[in-house]
Amino acid sequence: MISVTDAGIRFKRNRSSRRSFKDLFAGRNRRTRPGEFWALRHVSFEVQPGEAIGVVGRNGQGKSTLLKLVAQVVYADEGSIAVNEGVAPLIEITGGFVADLSVRDNVYLTAGLHGMTKREIDDRFDEIIEFAEIRDFVDTPTSTSRAA
């Protein structure tokens, strides 16, 4: 399960600017200073076990930033984010596949990152391959599995 409650994250436009001594003691809710902007603010949602969501939008609207927050690659400046096991945000369009691994190995790797056990993957492997329509490429590296 993922629970995001009133989350926000801000960045500096000019990374070379220096922080003042006062900034060291200022609270998390201090006013935004010139050169800072909120990439995301007041974001709330929940994803229950077994659900999957997609984040869609134009460039610069915070999609990757949101996924990085959920993956805890970066931390929110406000609000809270709780993530239980079995969550693997796919930030890149490739879905995180490793080009040198076979399709079979990539299915096991990615499903494992999503919290599935080897037995669960074994039980659903054929269903996954049929859904992806890649039966002829299961044991070839992903980099050579693209349709011509």
- Which pLDDT tens digit goes with each residue over 17-46? 555 555 556 555 555 456 778 889 999 999
- CA-closest candidate to residue 2, choices 43, 46, 41, 44: 46
Token reading at 130? 């049929």
Residue 135 zone, left/alpha/beta (φ > 0; ψ -120 to 50; rest) = alpha
Residue recorded with tokens 């629970």 = 3
Q: Provide the domain count of the chain.
A: 2
Residue recorded with tokens 């995001």 = 4
Residue numbers of the domain that contains 116 = 103-144
pTM, full prediction: 0.51
Residues 79 and 122 in one domain: no
Task: Say if 93 falls within a structural domain.
Answer: no
Binned at pLDDT 50, 70 and 90, residue 94 comes out as very low
